[in-house]
Structure 1
Amino acid sequence: MEFGLRMSDTPEAAQDSEGLLLREYWGVIVKRLWTVVLVFVVIVTGVGLYTFQQPKIYEASVTVIIDFEPPSVFGDAIDETGVGQASWLMLKQYFETQLQVIKSRHVAERVVRDHGLAENLEFLGLDKITDEEVLSRELEESDPAQRLMDMLSVEPEKETRMVHIKVQHESAQLSADLANAVAEAYRDQNIENRLQTMQDAFYWLESQYTAYESRLNESTRALTVFKEENPLLFTSPQEQQVITNNRIKELNTNLIEVEAMRRQYGYVLKELKAFKVENLGSSGVALLTESANLSQLTEKYVDLSQEEKKVLATYLEGTEQANSIKAQLALVEQALETEVSSIRRGYQARYDAYKGSEADLRKQITSVEGEALKLDQLKLLYEQVESQKAEQERLFELVQRRLNEVSLTKLLKSNNIRILDRATVPTEPAKPRVVFNLMIAAIMGLLGGVVLAFLLEMLDTTIKTQEEVERITGMQFLGAIPTIRDTDHRSAAKIPEGKTYRPDLHVGFFPKSRVAECARTIRTNILFMSPNKRLDTILVTSPSPLEGKTTTAINLATVMSQSSRRVILIEADMRRPRLYRAFGVEPATGLSEVLIEHATLEQAILETEIDGLDLLPCGPIPPNPAELFHTQRFLDVLEELKKRYERVIIDSPPVIAVTDAMILAQLVDGVILVSKAGSTRRELLKRSKELLEGIGANLIGTILNNVNFENRRYGKYYYYYRRYGQYYDHSTDRP
């Protein structure tokens, strides 16, 4: 059986296909209902028996709180959580470690030792042993710590720091006592570990305190010596550097002023050195106006120069007037020269003074800059020495503070493990959980039964539905024949007197039954398949024996004869003939003797109790049926029968079993391949179709026999037939 959705062309068809798929599933469950029920009963019964045989186990639980660190009482505030700057990963690893510590053998051995569990027979489960020798041996082989570890479980509360410590035991009181004992042992062990750690830390810090105190004293002395050896640092290096920088700035300012004055006097001095009386009209002479005497002499010289021009314009050179004015000019020029020389000497003195000041200032700046460079070097050395002293002070204070904290912590005995809720004696057992186990068993039983049912169905490779037949063979599906039951339309009151009901002749006895209607549907499909070419001879065969081909051949011949046609049914299965028994006759001769010309057709053909239907039985079983069908005599017989009857129906042996069907398939107009629902294997049906196609047989189509229409797997495919049969269930017609 295949499970899956079928492809459909329309939404309506898709919905119908899904409905059929669900009905197929339900059909599998109904078909193998006893398998589902058996698995359900076995699993539920087994789980129930196992559950009720188990001893009652009680579970007690203690709730503890695990902090990352105990509350810190040092500093400005109390840290209740103690996590500080710890990362999430560190916290996770810490709590996971603590959970493993609780379940550790070390804690279990502590509980065993403190509470004498090694001799507690109830705890060890040996209290019911009466034999002293056996009890002694069991005590020697017992492992109390491991037994306690097996009873113990630890469950953290999500998104909290709470942990539930649970102990299971057959004794309710002992389970509570053990749970409390484990929590106390874990807490006490944690305190002892912390105290031991604190003690070790105290000794180490004490040794470090002495060492850092000595180092601090050395650093202090080194700083003092450095200051004494470097008196330049009468203040702090930072202040000294500010003072030096201000001195350099002031000297640079004075240098700029002195340099400016020196340049100014140098310029004036240069003009004075280049002074000539005849150049009194130039720009440089204006500087000489700073002297009042020089200004008077200059005015006088200018007046005399103008007077000379006037005299020379009137008198000739060498005259008394000319010589007198020139003598006066010479005296004034001499006075001017004397005055300018005096002024020049004054400017020279000032120039030299400013030049000396400039040189002195430059020397001072160079000296101060040297001091500043030396100060920078001393500053670095000072900061290094001071930094060493400060570091030693910090370390000393840190060690001193930690030493005080450790000393106080030892006295406080602080712990990061707190017991929040102690275990109480449980009143109800935790195991076995009867209702839960039975519910799980019921669910598993149902699922196991259904799974087994579907597994068996999938392992079943037989043909069951029209879809499988069409998919495997690719041939036209002619129809389905329902299962014929003895209770279908066959009560004794419905059978005419003088006749005996035979299932193979059901269609003849009950022409209005659903079996007959299905057979007529097949007849109609065959006739419509070849409207232009008559199918005078039709071979009915199957892949294997016992698949209903003989009954199908009878039904097909019957419905064809009911349509006012003369039909003959040939029993060509000479290996396992059954047609003569189906019609209730004992023929004296048959087809085998006709073929060897020991009898005529008139002697071999028998009339049946169905109008229009004659029977050519097999006759005596020959040793070589296949060779008889290869003869010309068989072809002549077949042609003769085609002339006498409108339809010739041949019941042949199975395709896979013998070669008779292969020979006959080449001699007829069409071949019908019959398969039995729930019996014919897919590979045999496919192989039969391939063999018939290989010899060039005209395959009309396939028929699915022995279909149980009461099974929901067939859905609406056979809805019409079921309704038709139900309609005639109430009919009073007789055959």
Structure 2
Amino acid sequence: MEKIGTNGQTFFQEEETINLYEVIQVLYRGKWLIILIFILVVLATAIFTFMQDPIYESTAVILIEKGKKGLGLAQAFDITGFSEQRNIKNEIEILKSRSLAEAVAKKLIERVYVEPEKKSDTILVILPSRKELKEGIKPFAKIETIIERFEKNVKIESPRDADIIKITARSKNPKEAALIANTFADAYYERNLMMSRNESRSVRKFLEEQLADKRKQLDQAENQLESYMKSAGVVALDEESKKLIEQLSNLESARGEAIVDISAAKKKLDSYLEQIKQIEPEFVKVATEALDPYIKYLQEEIAKLEVTRDQIIAQNPKVGSQEVLNKSLREIDEQLASLRKKLQEKIAEFLKTGFASSGSPGTQTYDPTGFVKELKQKILLTEIELSAYEARKKEIEKLIEQLNRKFETIPAKLIDYARLERARMSAEKLYLLIEEKYQEAMIAEQSQFGYVQIIDYATPGVRPVSPKVHLNLILSIIIGLGLGVGIVFVKEYFDRSVKTPEQLEKRGFTVLSAIPVIEIEAKLDGKQLRKDEGRNIAAHLITHLSPKSPVAEAYRVMRTGIQFAKLDKKIKSIVVASSAPKEGKSTTASNLAITMATAGLKTVLVDTDLRRPVLHRVFNVPREPGLTDYLFDRADVQEIFKQTEVENLYLVPCGVVPPNPAELLGSEKMKEFVEYLKLNYDFVVFDTPPLVAVTDALILASQVDSVLLVASAGKTEIDVLEKAREMVQRVGGNVIGVLLNNFDASATYGTYYRYYRYYRYYDYYGADRDKSRG
């Protein structure tokens, strides 16, 4: 952006960029704030960390075994997807379930009663809360409360691409953390074992009921046969009748077996349908009609051949051995092998593609864990199994019907005996068959150990996992420094005050000098005083009373800058002004006048701050008669000039404070007075009110050679200072430059070279003083 600088030349103000040196400056200036925030954050973190109770963690590890979770029929057909591992997410959700948490809570509570010797080991997780104690709930918390605590302090997770699940419990007591994790593992194992045995248990209970029923039927048949033989005498059957009865009893036994298998399959199917009904009701109707007709046809053909084969072997047992395998049996076996292969392929194909059409659009259930799909597969496999049993039963009944017609040809006197013998033999064979199945079911139930294996039980932790003292302290150091630096930069961003000479130079200002901070100790007779070399001196007169001080040297640097600001025209009059009050313009005006006077120039200092005059107190001269008295024609021009204790320096005090300062300074008589001063004095200094507040300084700015702006480091806003410059330029005034007041170079630059740039004369004058004392 194009602007006019203090030297009257055009300059381009570039957008402010931050370089490394400026960053270091900002950090150095805000070092105490950064240190304070750092200490507070670290201290607060340390107090918080060490006041926390130590928390211990213990982890139990369980393995979900592959190959033990498939479906029986699915594994038999080796169908892709069924023999694979069940989604581990299912098991994690089971471990997170409310029912398992409730079981764990009850186990922990029972532990106190079952093992009273361990009651001294307080289990914190089951103790009642303060609220529950007030409600009179003791000695244990509610189950709901314990479950909520588990949700907060028990973590279930599985490493990626692994069949491992980790149960991690947290507690203030390391033994309790291990106990909770192990109780969860045990409860999950027991639940899995129970669920794994459920199907076998259901079949075993069903067979147990059937066994008792068939025992009654057998006893009844034997009693009836015995009673008949006693009443009618011993009856002998011919060989053909015996063979016929044997065949019928075998077939009726086989039919009874098929009926039992059908009942068991239906019971299992009903259980699956009830589950799917809660999730996807539409599938229940679809499932009953979904079986492929070709599968039914193959099952019927296989059933016919199996029954035929069984009859051939029953009529001649020796035919079944390999040595005497006849041609018809060999052909049946070949047909059965071919049909079973086709059935296996068709079932596999059906299960892979059968779900695409199982349900209308929009009825498919969101199934992230695969549970619904697995349940549907179980339903379809059970239906296939049921269809096979029904096909076998149908073929057996056909054969029974054929043999019954032959049975009716037995002589009338033997028919009753034959019926009773047939009933007894059927009941006996069916009873023995069911008893065998019952024993198999018992073995199958006890041999089910589930698919969960506890690899590692949790052990009490040695070191607490929380609070992480080292990590917390390291983080607090990082956060403390980061927060401190951040706040400093935010504060710097919003702080628009002038801080360094370079900042002013970037805005197009000519910095004539930077005045170090004058340490104020007290006020004496209206004068601000500082201590230097064991004596108090007035800050306004520091260049006179302490000419070898760094501050006095800085004012002399300003004097030199003013004298050589314009080589083509000598500056004889200057207005000293500031953008706002309390920025040191009166002190600057006084010391500027003193340095000009000590340089041999006949100098006059005019107090034109007609609102708050102070210079008469600084130089200890009467305020009246003064400038206003002259302007109001109450005094002659010679009367208002006061000789000061500084050689070549004269002061024109304010005089009576007028009601209309701006009008007075803008009068023709004031203009004439300014011209009079320029003619009779080598250098004229005007002390004026702040530029932005009132127009007094602007009135004089157009009548003098130059305007000196005074800025206070850390106080004057750069935007306000720019506005002051623009105001002076608008009225035709010439801003010669800026004096940066109250500048603390050590706080700004530290030990950098720029510190020495502003204070390189310290050692020189210090050594000079030492010599003079010696």
Asked if structure 1 preserves the Cα contact closer than 8 Å seen for 2:68 and 2:451, the reply is yes
Structure 2 partner of 1:720: 757
Take 1:86 and 1:619, find their aligned partners in 2: how far apart are those partners?
Answer: 109
Change (3 A) 1:67 1:553: farther
| Aligned mate of 1:111, from 97, 104, 124 | 104
Change (3 A) 1:220 1:124: closer
Change (3 A) 1:66 1:724: farther
Moved more, 691-700 or 530-539: 691-700
1:99 counterpart = 2:92: yes
Structure 1 partner of 2:768: 731
What letter is aligned with 2:57? E
Q: Which runs of 5+ in 2 are unaligned?
A: 1-16, 114-122, 204-260, 270-290, 309-334, 349-380, 390-436, 522-528
Q: Please state how far the C-alpha of 1:411 moved relative to its aligned partner.
A: 5.5
Q: Please state how far the C-alpha of 1:465 moved relative to its aligned partner.
A: 1.7
Q: Please state how far the C-alpha of 1:83 moved relative to its aligned partner.
A: 13
What letter is aligned with 2:627? L
Structure 1 partner of 2:424: none
Aligned counterparts, 1:279-294, within 5 A: none
Structure 2 partner of 1:431: 466
Change (3 A) 1:84 1:185: farther
**Secondary structure, in 3 states, of the residue corresponding to 1:688?**
helix
Change (3 A) 1:461 1:119: farther
Offset from partner CA, 1:465-506 (integer Å, 9 cap, x none): 22332344x33332322212369x9867676xxxx7211111
Offset from partner CA, 1:1-48 (integer Å, 9 cap, x none): xxxxxxxxxxxxxxx985522431331332xx1x44443444444444
Q: TM-score, normalised by structure 2?
A: 0.61
Q: Please state how far the C-alpha of 1:435 moved relative to its aligned partner.
A: 4.3
Structure 2 partner of 1:166: 168
Change (3 A) 1:392 1:639: closer
What letter is aligned with 1:215? E
Structure 2 partner of 1:625: 661
1:391 counterpart = 2:342: yes
Moved more, 703-712 or 458-467: 458-467
| Aligned mate of 1:216, from 287, 296, 302 | 302
Asked if structure 1 preserves the Cα contact closer than 8 Å seen for 2:498 and 2:717, the reply is yes
Change (3 A) 1:492 1:483: closer
Take 1:221 and 1:161, find their aligned partners in 2: how far apart are those partners?
Answer: 45
Structure 1 partner of 2:59: 61
**Alpha carbon RMSD of aligned pairs, Å?**
4.5
Q: Which has the larger radius of gyration?
A: 1
Q: Please state how far the C-alpha of 1:514 moved relative to its aligned partner.
A: 2.5
Structure 1 partner of 2:512: 478
Take 1:592 and 1:408, find their aligned partners in 2: how far apart are those partners?
Answer: 124
Structure 2 partner of 1:695: 731
Structure 1 partner of 2:37: 39
Structure 1 partner of 2:503: 468
Aligned counterparts, 1:210-289, within 5 A: 213-218=299-304
Take 1:527 and 1:132, find their aligned partners in 2: how far apart are those partners?
Answer: 88
Take 2:664 and 2:179, find their aligned partners in 1: how far apart are those partners?
Answer: 97
What letter is aligned with 1:484? I
Asked if structure 1 preserves the Cα contact closer than 8 Å seen for 2:746 and 2:755, the reply is no
Moved more, 408-417 or 147-156: 408-417
Structure 1 partner of 2:742: 706
Structure 2 partner of 1:270: none
Take 1:163 and 1:140, find their aligned partners in 2: how far apart are those partners?
Answer: 28
Q: Please state how far the C-alpha of 1:182 moved relative to its aligned partner.
A: 0.5
What letter is aligned with 1:24? Q
Structure 2 partner of 1:416: 451
Moved more, 554-563 or 191-200: 191-200
1:614 counterpart = 2:650: yes
Aligned counterparts, 1:282-681, within 5 A: 391-392=342-343, 412-472=447-507, 474-485=508-519, 501-681=537-717
What letter is aligned with 1:143? T
Take 2:171 and 2:79, find their aligned partners in 1: how far apart are those partners?
Answer: 36
Take 2:644 and 2:71, find their aligned partners in 1: how far apart are those partners?
Answer: 116
Take 2:705 and 2:79, find their aligned partners in 1: how far apart are those partners?
Answer: 95
**Secondary structure, in 3 states, of the residue corresponding to 1:109?**
helix
Structure 2 partner of 1:271: none
Take 1:658 and 1:83, find their aligned partners in 2: how far apart are those partners?
Answer: 96
What letter is aligned with 1:710? S
**Secondary structure, in 3 states, of the residue corresponding to 2:586?**
helix
Asked if structure 2 preserves the Cα contact closer than 8 Å seen for 1:537 and 1:670, the reply is yes
Offset from partner CA, 1:434-466 (integer Å, 9 cap, x none): 444344334433433333333333332322122
What letter is aligned with 1:730? A
Take 2:79 and 2:628, find their aligned partners in 1: how far apart are those partners?
Answer: 105
Q: Please state how far the C-alpha of 1:115 moved relative to its aligned partner.
A: 4.1
What letter is aligned with 2:504? V
Q: Please state how far the C-alpha of 1:690 moved relative to its aligned partner.
A: 2.5
Q: Please state how far the C-alpha of 1:181 moved relative to its aligned partner.
A: 1.1
Take 2:126 and 2:92, find their aligned partners in 1: how far apart are those partners?
Answer: 25
Q: Please state how far the C-alpha of 1:547 moved relative to its aligned partner.
A: 0.4
Q: Please state how far the C-alpha of 1:517 moved relative to its aligned partner.
A: 2.7
Structure 2 partner of 1:284: none
Change (3 A) 1:467 1:117: farther
Take 1:675 and 1:189, find their aligned partners in 2: how far apart are those partners?
Answer: 82
What letter is aligned with 2:551? V
Asked if structure 2 preserves the Cα contact closer than 8 Å seen for 1:629 and 1:664, the reply is yes
**Secondary structure, in 3 states, of the residue corresponding to 2:765?**
helix
Asked if structure 1 preserves the Cα contact closer than 8 Å seen for 2:105 and 2:126, the reply is no
Take 1:450 and 1:463, find their aligned partners in 2: how far apart are those partners?
Answer: 20
Asked if structure 2 preserves the Cα contact closer than 8 Å seen for 1:167 and 1:176, the reply is yes
1:28 counterpart = 2:29: yes
Structure 2 partner of 1:151: 153
What letter is aligned with 1:431? S
Change (3 A) 1:453 1:392: closer
Q: How many residues align?
A: 542
Change (3 A) 1:389 1:185: closer
Change (3 A) 1:648 1:138: farther
Asked if structure 2 preserves the Cα contact closer than 8 Å seen for 1:671 and 1:697, the reply is yes
Take 2:140 and 2:617, find their aligned partners in 1: how far apart are those partners?
Answer: 80
| Aligned mate of 1:184, from 183, 186, 204 | 186
Aligned counterparts, 1:193-204, within 5 A: 193-196=195-198, 204=265
Q: TM-score, normalised by structure 1?
A: 0.64
Offset from partner CA, 1:31-69 (integer Å, 9 cap, x none): xx1x44443444444444444443343322112223454
Identity %: 28
**Secondary structure, in 3 states, of the residue corresponding to 2:689?**
coil
Offset from partner CA, 1:551-579 (integer Å, 9 cap, x none): 11122222222322212111110111111
Offset from partner CA, 1:176-209 (integer Å, 9 cap, x none): 2211110122223233334446778995499999
Asked if structure 2 preserves the Cα contact closer than 8 Å seen for 1:219 and 1:389, the reply is no
Take 1:391 and 1:677, find their aligned partners in 2: how far apart are those partners?
Answer: 98
Take 2:605 and 2:717, find their aligned partners in 1: how far apart are those partners?
Answer: 27
Structure 2 partner of 1:359: none
What letter is aligned with 1:464? K
What letter is aligned with 1:460? D
Structure 2 partner of 1:237: none
Asked if structure 2 preserves the Cα contact closer than 8 Å seen for 1:553 and 1:651, the reply is yes
